[in-house]
Amino acid sequence: MRITATIITHDEEENIARAIRSVGFCDEVLVVDSGSTDRTVAIARSLGAKVIGRDWPGYAAQKNFAAEQARHDWILSLDADEAVTPRLATSIQLLTPAAVRCAGYDFPRLARYCGRWIRHSGWYPDRKIRLYDRTRGRWVGKYVHESVHVDGERGHLDGDLLHYTCDSIEAHRANLERYTDLAARDFHESGRRVGALRPLLAPAHSFVKAYVLQLGFLDGRAGMTIARMAALYVYLKYSKARLLARR
C-alpha cells in the first residue's frame, strides 16, 4: 500500500519532529500548517515533510483538506502531539493491496497525562479510525469531536497510537476552556436545549463514570484528576450553552 501521512499543525515545534519520525515508513509525509509562528514549519521541512500553509477552517475541514492534497489515496492521519509505535507501524506495513478489503482501520490510542500513561478512566483503548481510503472515507464534525466516517468495512490493527496530552493541570484547564467554547457552540447551533438542572447533575455522572465505572481509580492520582476534569468539562459545556441560548 502507498500511504500518505497527514499532520495538521499550529505552533507545534515541541511535538512535530516526534510525529514525523514515527511515520517514516510512509511514502509521503504532508503537514498542513495554519500560521505557526515558531519553528514548526522549519522542523517539518528539515525532516523531509511537504508543508502547505492554510488558514484554520476547523479540525475536520483542515484534515479533509490535507487528505485532498495527498499523493496517495490511503491516508494515515495524525495530530502533531501523537506518534505511531513500532508495533503499530509493523501492523500497517503488513497490509497489502491484495489483502485490503476495508475502507478504514482503527487502532488503540494510549494517552500520556502529567507524566503517566493512562490505561483506564475511559481513555484507553479509545480506538480511532486513522488509516483510511480517502475515496471511501472523510472527516466529519463541525467544531469538536471530529472523526473519520468510512463507506465500507472497518478493520482493526494491533499497536498503539501514542497521544502526548497535557503535562500539567494548568494546561489541561486551558484546553478545557477552549474545547468547551467549541462544544457549547456546537450544542447550541444544533438546536438542542439545556435544562436548568443539567449543568448540576451531569458533572456528577461524568465523575462517577470515569473514576468508578471506567476504573479511573486504577490510574492513581491522575485518574482522580481526569475524573474531576471530566466533570468540569461537562459543567462548562452546558453552562456555556445555556449562556449562548440567552443571547
The total number of structural domains that make up the chain: 2
Same domain, 136 and 154: yes
> In b/e form, how buried is each residue of 110-139, taking b as 16+ CB within 10 angstroms?
bbbbbeeebebbbbbebebbbbbbbeebbb
Same domain, 85 and 125: yes
pLDDT band at 247 (very low <50, low <70, confident <90, very high): confident
pTM listed for this prediction = 0.93
**CA 131-136-137 angle, 5° bins:** 55
Same domain, 114 and 199: no
Tens digits of residue pLDDT in 9-46: 999 999 999 999 999 999 999 999 999 999 999 999 99
> What domain range includes position 8?
3-164
| Residues facing 76 on adjacent strands | 5, 131
pLDDT at 170 over 90: yes
The backbone torsions φ and ψ at residue 22, rounded to the nearest 5 degrees and listed phi first, read -70, -20
Angle, to 10 degrees, between the axis of helix 220-246 and the axis of helix 169-189? 40
pLDDT at 98 over 80: no
- Could you give the percent of the chain with pLDDT greater than 70? 100
Asked whether 121 and 210 are in contact (CB, 8 A), the reply is: yes
Choosing from 164, 189, 213, the residue where a domain stops is 164
pLDDT band at 94 (very low <50, low <70, confident <90, very high): very high
For residue 200, the SS3 value is: helix
Choosing from 139, 164, 189, the residue where a domain stops is 164
Strands 137-140 and 74-79, by their bridges, are unpaired
Same domain, 152 and 177: no
What mean pLDDT is predicted for residues 45-57? Answer: 97
Tens digits of residue pLDDT in 179-215: 999 999 988 888 888 888 999 999 999 999 999 999 9
